[in-house]
Amino acid sequence: MTLETYFDFVILPILAISVMLVFIRLFKGPTVVDRVISLDLIITIGIGIITVYSIRSNQQIFLDVAIILALIAFLGTIAFAYYIEKQKDD
């Protein structure tokens, strides 16, 4: 089994199934916190998909895109935590 076959038949289907399950949590999430966590998880899975594609196509520029996306997701999580903390104080 080659690495490309492993990516195509094992890793990418697992990532696709996980995205679908997280989208269900995004739509059914009873609280705002559940929805924000699911959005963060979707971005993390997207980073995984970008990384797999980068390795599969042998183009390293996509890793830069994944790093930028990870930084944006981190800043979004920090902003949401700050918002929840301010809400708790009021």
Residue-wise pLDDT for 2-17, tens only, equals 888 999 999 999 999 9
Q: Tell me what pLDDT residue 33 has.
A: 87
Domain boundaries, the chain: 3-89
Length of the chain in terms of residues written: 90
Report whether pLDDT(64) > 90: yes
23 contact partners, CB below 8 Å, separation of at least 6: 38, 42
Residue-wise pLDDT for 14-51, tens only, equals 999 999 999 999 999 898 889 989 999 999 999 999 99
Mean pLDDT value of segment 64-76: 94
48 contact partners, CB below 8 Å, separation of at least 6: 15
Is pTM beyond 0.75? Reply is: yes
Q: In whole angstroms, what is the distance from residue 17 CA to residue 5 CA? A: 18
